[in-house]
Amino acid sequence: MQDENHEEQLLEAIDYHKLPRHIAIIMDGNGRWAVERGLPRKEGHRQGMETIKEIVRNCNKLHIEVLTLFAFSTENWQRPKWEVNYLMSLPEKYFNSDLPELIEKNIRVKLIGEHEGLPGRVQKAVLDGVEKTKENTGMILNFAMNYGSRSEILQAVNNIIIDVTQNKIKSKIDENIFSNYLYTAGLTDPDLLIRTSGEIRISNFLLWQLAYSEFWFTNVYWPDFKVIHLLEAIFDYQQRKRRFGKIDS
Ligand code: IPE
Ligand code: IPE
Ligand code: MG
């Protein structure tokens, strides 16, 4: 009841003309959520997928332009095989159950990361979601899978070298050109980065793109993350003064 009141207050307090255009989330704490309940870690991932559904719905309702979700990092391959296998079974489950709703809600699915490194079934499920929503014009739902920011940056550098050698680029490399070689080409940088589970680090996520993002951390584990936390993050974000190196005028 108290939470309901608080949610209503936040809904009233939020300035809908000053919403973050791009929210990026490091969805962390699935494993600890499960272990603390005496459940296997995979139960945390399963429940985490339910959180994804809820947060996607609510970001869409708020007309957020881009929602980027860190789902699997290039470092996560180092986890036990059973856990990796379970995580790799989730995209198929997610798109089987939610793709019709994404299509219906005009949401466009995008994938960042090295998708060739994902198992065939995962690639098929996600790329099918990308394909079937490619004409949609609403929120971009951007999944970071097999994503690592350092490898993204190195890949950009290598591709730039190729294009310079082939005379496709004749000018100096500026920030704009460089950004266009990243997976996130064409997307606005995240305004707000949320990380759940109490960890205060970036873990190789969007190193270039987060240069001027506002960070919001919570101890809440991802499976427990609810709309109220999303609204709290947005409200806090709106209280910040983004200076971009300038001084207040
Ligand atoms: C986030 O939860 C999901 C992925 C990294 C794939 P974790 O699995 O990292 O959960 P903790 O951090 O071990 O609790
Ligand atoms: C970051 O979480 C990656 C994802 C959420 C997919 P991790 O749990 O892998 O990060 P570390 O290992 O705690 O830094
Ligand atoms: Mg973790």
CATH numbers and ranges of domains, the chain:
19-148+188-239 (3.40.1180.10)
Q: 44 and 33 in contact (C-beta within 8 Å)?
A: yes
Cα-atom radius of gyration of the chain, to the nearest Å? 19
Output the pLDDT for position 33: 99
Cα 71 to averaged position of ligand 1 atoms, centre (Å): 9
Q: 76 and 113 in contact (C-beta within 8 Å)?
A: no
Q: 232 and 225 in contact (C-beta within 8 Å)?
A: no
- Marked catalytic residue, from 58, 76, 136, 204: 76
Quote the CA–CA distance of 52 and 130 in Å, as a whole number.
Answer: 17
What residues does ligand 2 touch, defined as CB less than 6 Å away?
A: 26-28, 70-73, 76, 199, 201, 203
Dihedral angle sign, alpha carbons of residues 57, 58, 59, 63: positive
- Catalytic status, residue 28: yes
Atom of ligand 1 nearest to the CA of 221: 14
Output the pLDDT for position 246: 97
Q: Which of 88, 146, 199, 217 to mutate to test the pocket of ligand 2 (most atoms within 8 A of CB)?
A: 199
Output the pLDDT for position 249: 72
Output the pLDDT for position 3: 85
- Catalytic status, residue 76: yes
Ligand nearest to the CA of 45: 1
Output the pLDDT for position 2: 74
Atom of ligand 2 nearest to the CA of 222: 5
Residues 6+ apart with CB under 8 A from 91: 71, 122, 125, 126, 143, 145
* Per-residue pLDDT in tens (0 to 9) along the chain, 249 residues: 578 899 999 999 999 999 999 999 999 999 999 999 999 999 999 999 999 999 999 999 999 999 999 999 999 999 999 999 999 999 999 999 999 999 999 999 999 999 999 999 999 999 999 999 999 999 999 999 999 999 999 999 999 999 999 999 999 999 999 999 999 999 999 999 999 999 999 999 999 999 999 999 999 999 999 999 999 999 999 999 999 999 987
Output the pLDDT for position 1: 57
Output the pLDDT for position 245: 96
